Structure 1
Amino acid sequence: MKKSYRKWLIIASSLLCLSLLLFLIYSIQTQKEKKVVHMVYIPKLIDETNDFWTALIEGANMAAKDYDIDLVIDGGSNETDYEDQNRRIQKAIDSKADVIAVSPISYTNSTEMVKKVKESGIKLIFVDSGVDEDVADALIATDNFAAGMKMGKFMQQSLNEDSQIAIVSHVKDASTAIDRERGLRAGIGPYEDQIVEVVYCDSNYQKAYRLTKELLEKYPDLDYIAGLNEYSAVGAARAVDEIQGGASQRVKVIGFDNSLEQIKFLEKGVFQAIVVQKSFNMGYLAVETALKVLKGEKVPPVIDSGSELITKDNMYTEQNQKLLFPFFDK
């Protein structure tokens, strides 16, 4: 009887130990599967007055919530300060993030630092812009050449052999500025030589406004001004509206992005058209793609988040209203 009891006690103890071991293994495996992904996103800047960056960051935050990702947004306040951004990239590397997403400020001066991300064994995603070397695991951005081409082709309809054109761009060494200008030039085709000047506002509303006023004084016969991002487009529109006012203005303006102020200028007739980027979509796709890369899934090297050219005539369609007011569609 005692031997039988001892035998069953040993069996029970063994089963208990085995159960505990299996439970421990399961718990460890579950913890591994539930490991929270640590992601850092470094935009060109954080500016609550800029609807493009606000919407992009909102999209990234929503994706992080949907996929249970620990997302840290770490951006500066100056879209031209690549040195500050490089320091933030180094800080993200030191934090041992699983994946780092960057919107490089400089096409050339950001390259060496983003290469360090890859050298550290960290996955790298570019958002909105890139650098002069193919180093990222994926780029999520507007096809800026194609978007610039849309702008140029629209402008061409109103141009003639006597037209004078000026471009108010944003940051000289930014890939977005480079590609949009290239696309615009291709779009206006035979009128490219009639671009009288290109100026850079360094993504500053007031500087874009001042530069546009100077252009209007310098070129009294100026016909068309193209603003290549929200800052440059808004500044240009403010200057033209102030000097000429009303819908009868002679100088035409076309711009990028869709802040509420830009939409009002479009309704008023100051803007002939605006090229709207899908910035919320861009931010969401950036986080979603980062997670796929971490899981080892194959992703396209370049993902076009899309853009549409919107005029006063088509701005009230249901689809374009969703693009112009993305937050009201949730």
Structure 2
Amino acid sequence: MKKKWVILLISSILLATVIGCIVKFLKKDNRPKVVVVLQDLDTQYWNIVKAGAEKGFQEFDIDGKVVAPGFKSEKDVQEYVLKNVLKEQPDALIVSPFQSPAVMSALKKFAQHKIPVLLVDTDIPLEHKTAYIGTNNFELGKKAGELLASGLQPGDEVALIGGSLNGPVSIERIKGATSSLEDAGIKIVAKQVNLPNEALPARKAMTTILQNHPDVKGVFATSDILALSAVKVIKEQGYKMPVIGADGIIKMNELIKDGTLPGTVAQNPYDMGYISVETARKVLEGEQFRKSVDTGVDLITKDNVKQKLDFLKELLE
């Protein structure tokens, strides 16, 4: 009897284990599959977006992954990434798209396959997009211009530096900054708005600006990569002036903490990633969702920079 009892107990344990594995397997298979395609994963900004998306996968029980082109800022490569993702037939696609005919064509095919397409960070005129989650770029530029003007006097000269990679994003930020700077009586004496989002071209542009306009008192750049490059040139040339970026990455915050810069404005890339996944879940479950989600713009100064730095460092460690 004892032997039979032991055998029965072992059998019960094995059966429970098998059932548990089957339930776990079925649960995994039944989870919605969401793929996030970003512009790159070489820069800190996009890795913050990734962290937000992965937190969303975890909290909303989603079978998700984040991918990006293997080469930074390659429009054509993103097209191939999207084609490969389509073969996987995900339940939803979240993408930060380059604006190119090839990428637009690839995204239209998702709509043809009845796969919801949610845009994150970068909005483009895609006819069948499901939602946009990201920054109001005109408002970001406007706030950046207001912050820059707050430390200057009417009649002071400033320069604007913008990237060409994501044309609409940069254009809207420049428009917003121009609006608030002109309202404050600040003179915009130089605009370099067709730069790759890379350090060397930005350094060259800033060097030229200082040569041609030695009385410049401040700079707004449409990304932190451009802003940090401008800061280096300004320091090398013996100047000291405010430089406002847009992304709030760690290096920009450190320059505020040590007093090199008085402040900056910052997008919320972590929120973009998280909310885009949350919105995808709502779409797939038939819940109400907002078709446009403004993830806001933060003002970073000496007063709150430590909190921002602690959050980012914990996030990326």
Q: Which digits, 9 at most, give the CA deviation of each residue in 1:156-187, with x for residues without a partner?
A: 23445543222222235433212211211222
Q: Greater CA radius of gyration, 1 or 2?
A: 1
Q: Equivalent residue for 2:235?
A: 241
- Aligned residue identity for 1:293: V
Alignment partners' CA distance in 2, 1:117 and 1:257: 30
Q: CA deviation at 1:303?
A: 0.8
Q: Which residue number corresponds to residue 46 of structure 1?
A: 41
Taking structure 1 as the reference length, the TM-score comes to 0.79
The one of 32, 37, 53 aligned to 2:32: 37
Matched, 1:106 2:99: yes
Specify the SS of the correspondent of 1:234: helix
Q: Say which SS state the counterpart of residue 34 (structure 2) adopts.
A: strand
Q: 1:78 to 1:146 in 2, by over 3 A?
A: farther
Aligned length: 292
How far apart are 1:80 and its partner, in Å?
Answer: 3.9
The separation in 1 between residues aligned to 2:209 and 2:304, in whole angstroms, is: 29
Distance 1:108 1:182 in 2: 25
Q: Please tell me the residue identity of whatever aligns with 1:81.
A: E
Alignment CA distance shift 1:59-1:148 (3 Å): same
| Corresponding residue for residue 14 of structure 1 | none
| SS of residue paired to 2:65 | strand
> What amino acid does structure 1 have at the position aligned with 2:242?
K
The separation in 1 between residues aligned to 2:301 and 2:253, in whole angstroms, is: 10
Q: Which residue of 2 aligns with 1:180?
A: 173
Aligned-pair CA distance for 1:306? 1.6
Q: Percent identity?
A: 23
2:249 — aligned with what?
A: 259
1:220 and 2:210 matched: no
Match of residue 209, structure 1, among 200, 203, 206: 203
In structure 2, the residue matched to 1:283 is: 273
Distance of 2:101 and 2:111 partners within structure 1: 17
Letter in 2 for 1:147: L
Cα gap change, 1:110 to 1:183, in 2 (>3 Å): farther
1:238, distance to aligned residue in structure 2 (A): 1.7
Q: Which of these residues, 284, 303, 310, is aligned with residue 325 of structure 1? A: 310
Match of 1:131 in 2: 124
TM value normalised by structure 2: 0.82
Q: Over aligned residues, Cα RMSD in angstroms? A: 2.6
| SS of structure 2 residue aligned to 1:325 | helix
The residue correspondences of 1:17-28 to structure 2 (distance < 5 A) are none
> Is residue 115 from structure 1 mapped to residue 108 from structure 2 by the alignment?
yes
Alignment partner, residue 18 of structure 1: none
Is the 2:45–2:249 contact (alpha carbons within 8 Å) kept by the matching residues of 1?
yes
Task: Name the structure 1 match of 2:18.
Answer: none
In structure 2, what is the equivalent of residue 198 of structure 1?
Answer: 192
Contact 1:107 1:132 in 2 (8 A): no
Which stretches in structure 2 are left out of the alignment for 5+ residues? 1-21
Aligned residue among 147, 164, 167 for 1:171: 164
Distance (Å, rounded) in 1 between the aligned partners of 2:270 and 2:314: 12
Task: Provide closer, same or farther for how the CA distance between residues 141 and 89 of structure 1 changes in structure 2, counting only shifts above 3 A.
Answer: same
**For residue 266 of structure 2, what is the amino acid of its counterpart?**
V
Partner of 2:7: none
Q: CA deviation at 1:307?
A: 1.4
- 199-208 or 84-93, which deviates more: 199-208
Q: Deviations over 1:220-266 (max 9, x none)?
A: 2222211111211111112212222xxxx443311122222212222
1:205/1:235 contact within 8 Å kept: yes
1:229 corresponds to 2:229 = no
- Asked if structure 1 preserves the Cα contact closer than 8 Å seen for 2:219 and 2:242, the reply is yes
Amino acid at match of 1:69: I
Inter-partner Cα distance in structure 2 for 1:107 and 1:193 = 34
Q: CA deviation at 1:134?
A: 4.4
Tell me: CA distance 1:267–1:52, structure 2 relative to 1, closer, same or farther (3 Å).
same
CA contact (8 A) 1:93 1:117 kept: yes
**Are the aligned partners of 2:158 and 2:187 in contact in 1 as well (CA < 8 Å)?**
no
Gaps of 5+ in 1: 1-26
What's the secondary structure of 2:36's corresponding residue?
strand
Determine the C-alpha separation between the residues in 1 that align with 2:54 and 2:27.
Answer: 23
